[in-house]
Amino acid sequence: MNRGERERANAALATELSTLLRRVDPPPAHVKDAAHGLLSWRTIDAALAELLRDGARKPRRGER
């Protein structure tokens, strides 16, 4: 088994285990909410860059 096959097998196993654990012992709502909040910070740089690009493209009041 090469590295790519091993990584795919590991990912499949992780997905299967995650699905099983969610059915058997789901995380409490406050843990899920905290995880979603933390993960949203992963893309904050991209979101800010997009806002800056959008702001740079839009004409300001009085400009065309």
pLDDT tens across 3-54, in order? 999 999 999 999 999 999 989 999 899 999 999 999 888 888 888 999 898 8
Instruction: Judge whether 41 lies within some domain.
Output: yes
HSE-up of residue 39 (Cα within 13 Å, Cβ side): 6
pTM reported for the whole predicted model: 0.43
Residue 62 vs residue 49, higher pLDDT: 49
Whole domain around residue 12: which residue ranges? 3-57
Instruction: Judge whether 49 lies within some domain.
Output: yes
Q: Which helix (H) or strand (E) holds 23?
A: helix 3-24
Instruction: Judge whether 32 lies within some domain.
Output: yes
Q: How many domains does the chain have?
A: 1
Q: Closest Cα partner for 51 from 43, 39, 42, 40?
A: 43
